[in-house]
Chains A and B, each alone.
Chain A
Amino acid sequence: AQSVTQLDSQVPVFEEAPVELRCNYSSSVSVYLFWYVQYPNQGLQLLLKYLSGSTLVKGINGFEAEFNKSQTSFHLRKPSVHISDTAEYFCAVRRFGNEKLTFGTGTRLTIIP
């Protein structure tokens, strides 16, 4: 079975500052990796995903993430955050050949004006 750990439950960041949201995973087999964003009272929206190839993945809204196989990490970064980035961010993994997504517990990103 696979698992996802998001160590930071809350991350406050000043507007226009950079941010990194951490995600580590555990799996005995190869996985796909995802980051989703959830705005208040809404469903999840895909930010980016890693399937294969380049380990640096660019997504929507200026976010990017880097897959590090040796450290089993997939940290999400943005060089300059905006008030509108205030939301809950979830990291998720999915095993090859399996449709089930396993989510982390989420990180609440709060942007301070």
Chain B
Amino acid sequence: GAVVSQHPSWVICKSGTSVKIECRSLDFQATTMFWYRQFPKQSLMLMATSNEGSKATYEQGVEKDKFLINHASLTLSTLTVTSAHPEDSSFYICSARGLGGDGTEQYFGPGTRLTVT
């Protein structure tokens, strides 16, 4: 149980275009989803937290107009990188927290590698 998927697993896009990444909780309802960015050989940096049906809360320094997050249902959140540039190339990972358990655990997706050319 507690499986989180991401699609696509990798994507290459041209500079100036937009890319949408999906994050799905397959076997549980995710009240909260998180989006992280990971640079090569570095740690995960939280970009934003989203709760179903409400606006995402962005971390300081993250451009909300560039990284659009939508959490329209309890099983799906999307991250859209708008007008992508080479510096946006990174590994994007989502995680989800459900209603059950002790409420502390986040389940992570396998990540999406974005390359902007």
Contacts and interface: CB of A to CB of B under 8 A. Distances in A.
Interface in A64-113: 90, 94, 99-101, 103-106, 108
Contacts of A49: 104-105
Contacts of A101: 34, 44, 46, 106
Contacts, number: 49
B42 A105 contact: yes
Interface in A48-68: 49, 51
B97 A103 contact: no
A32 B102 CA distance: 12
A11 interface: no
Interface string B84-107: 000000000101010000101111
Interface string A7-50: 00000000000000000000000001000100001111110010
A43 B43 contact: no
Q: Which of B6, B32, B102 has the most CB of A within 10 A?
A: B102
A42 B49 contact: no
Contact of A43 (B49, B102, B110): B110
Contacts of A41: 110-111, 113
Given A43-B111, A45-B108, A99 B49 contact: yes
A22 to B, nearest CB: 15
Nearest to A102: B46
Candidate in A36, A41, A44 with the most chain B CB atoms within 10 angstroms: A44
User: Which of A42, A43, A94, A99: most chain B Cβ within 10 A?
Assistant: A43
Interface of B: 4, 6, 32, 34, 41-46, 49, 93, 95, 97, 102, 104-111, 113
19 contacts: A32-B104, A41-B110, A41-B111, A41-B113, A42-B110, A43-B4, A43-B93, A43-B110, A44-B95, A44-B108, A45-B108, A51-B104, A90-B43, A94-B104, A99-B49, A103-B44, A103-B45, A104-B43, A106-B43
Interface of A: 32, 36, 41-46, 49, 51, 90, 94, 99-101, 103-106, 108
